[in-house]
């Protein structure tokens, strides 16, 4: 099976499982005695509670997720995230080509840090109130807990700009992506794509297909979501995936 077909299958299964069947599971879920909370939500809850000792109950599961996110970097964005999946559907339907001129900003890291600080001040997980991922999980599922109108409004905030500029929200505003970028910097090695300079002919085929506007030949690849479109597009097989 080609990688993009496999990725589409993983995205569909993830969406059905964690959005429709198990409402809210993208944000938090329980497995046995362990509670897992996605990294941004965990840090917000930790800050909002003024580092309450009782949160140690959920810390173990959340630390596991932090390690997974840190080691796989932005793979969640490319393979699992429901917002990313909707963006990919838009791209498939519109059949538009990627613009290698699009660039990302550091606003998402600022939004992540601001959300955690605001949670500490207000005592409420601030971003969770308007999180598009959370809105989809809590609104579309079989046991939806928020209104369809609210779900549509919050989701549109993340998806609408992406109609004009590919994955605009993911590249510029998503605090989950911003926090993962910050967490990954702590890890000396993480899953990344690597270009063999000896084999690469600088044809730019990899850069032309990247939905995030990342050039795999550039050492600055924080916004790579490991969708592996570059891996499939390289005519010289110069791209590999490894921990580095």
Q: What is the DSSP string of 160-204?
A: HHHHHSTTHHHHHT-HHHHHHHHHHTT-S--EEEEE-TTT-----
3-state secondary structure of 37: strand
**Cα torsion angle, 184, 188, 191, 197, sign:** positive
pTM of the model: 0.88
Residue 68 lies in a domain: yes
| 101: pLDDT strictly greater than 70 | no
What's the total number of domains in the chain? 1
Mean pLDDT, the chain, as a whole number? 86
Question: Which residue shows structure tokens 């001129």?
Answer: 101
CB 18 within 8 A of CB 137: yes
Q: Is the CB of residue 24 less than 8 Å from the CB of residue 139?
A: no
- pLDDT class for 1, splitting at 50, 70, 90? low
Rounded mean pLDDT of 10-24?
83
Return the percentage of the chain with pLDDT > 70, whole number.
90
Q: Within a domain: residue 120?
A: yes
Summarised one tens digit per residue, pLDDT across range 117-128 is 999 999 999 998
The Cα–Cα gap between 235 and 203 comes to 9
- Cβ pair 75, 97 in contact under 8 A: no
Across the range 216-242, mean pLDDT stands at 90
Q: What is the pLDDT of residues 201-210, one digit of tens each?
A: 999 999 889 9
| Residue 243 φ then ψ, to 5° | -80, 125
Q: Is 109 helix (H, G, I), strand (E, B) or coil?
A: helix
Q: In this structure, is residue 151 part of a structural domain? A: yes
Residue 115 clears pLDDT 90, i.e. is over it: yes
Rounded to whole angstroms, the Cα distance separating 68 from 63 reads: 9
Evaluate whether residue 244 is within a structural domain. Answer: no
Of 21-25, 149-153, 240-244, give the range with the top mean pLDDT: 240-244
Domain that holds residue 119: 3-188
- 100 pLDDT higher than 70: no
Provide the sign of the torsion angle of the four alpha carbons 160, 164, 167, 172, taken in this order.
negative
Backbone angles phi, psi at 2, to 5 degrees: -65, 150
- The pLDDT of residue 24: 61
How far lies 38's CA from each of 63, 82, 88, 112, 208, in Å? Answer: 9, 14, 22, 13, 32
Question: Is residue 170 one of the residues assigned to a domain?
Answer: yes
Residue 99 banded pLDDT, cuts 50, 70, 90? low
Residue with more model confidence, 104 or 178: 178
Q: Which residue in the block uniquely carries the two structure tokens 């519109």? A: 94
Asked if the structure places residue 116 within a domain, the reply is yes
pLDDT in tens, 33-70: 777 888 999 899 888 887 776 666 667 888 888 999 99
The rounded radius of gyration (Å) of the Cα atoms in the chain is 18
Domain-embedded: residue 224: no
In the prediction, which pLDDT does 25 show? 63
Q: Give a yes or no: residue 38 inside a domain.
A: yes
pLDDT of residue 140: 65
Select the more confidently predicted residue: 94 or 13.
13
Contact 226, 193 (CB under 8 A): yes
Question: What pLDDT band is residue 23 in, cutting at 50, 70 and 90?
Answer: low
Q: pLDDT of 139-177, one tens digit each? A: 665 555 567 777 788 888 898 888 888 899 999 999 999
Is residue 99 within 8 Å of residue 213, measured between CB atoms?
Answer: yes
């Amino acid at each position: 099976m080609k990688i993009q077909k496999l990725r589409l299958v993983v995205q569909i299964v993830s969406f059905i499982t964690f959005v429709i069947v198990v409402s809210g599971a993208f944000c938090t879920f329980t497995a046995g005695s362990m509670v897992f909370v996605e990294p941004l939500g965990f840090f917000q809850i930790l800050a909002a509670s003024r580092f309450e000792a009782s949160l140690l109950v959920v810390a173990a599961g959340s630390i596991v997720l932090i390690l997974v996110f840190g080691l796989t970097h932005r793979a969640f964005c490319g393979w699992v995230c429901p917002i990313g999946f909707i963006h990919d559907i838009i791209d498939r339907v519109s059949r538009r080509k990627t613009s290698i001129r699009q660039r990302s900003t550091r606003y998402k890291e600022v939004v992540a840090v601001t959300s955690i600080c605001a949670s500490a001040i207000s005592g409420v997980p601030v971003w969770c109130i308007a999180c598009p991922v959370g809105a989809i999980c809590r609104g579309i599922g079989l046991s939806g807990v928020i209104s369809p109108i609210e779900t549509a409004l919050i989701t549109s905030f993340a998806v609408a700009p992406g109609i004009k500029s590919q994955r605009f929200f993911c590249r510029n505003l998503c605090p989950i992506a911003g926090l993962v970028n910050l967490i990954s910097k702590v890890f000396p090695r993480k899953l990344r794509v690597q270009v063999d300079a000896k084999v690469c002919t600088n044809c730019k085929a990899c850069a032309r297909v990247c939905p995030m506007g990342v050039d795999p030949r550039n050492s600055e690849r924080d916004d790579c979501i490991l969708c592996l479109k570059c891996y499939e597009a390289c005519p010289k097989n110069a791209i590999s995936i490894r921990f580095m």
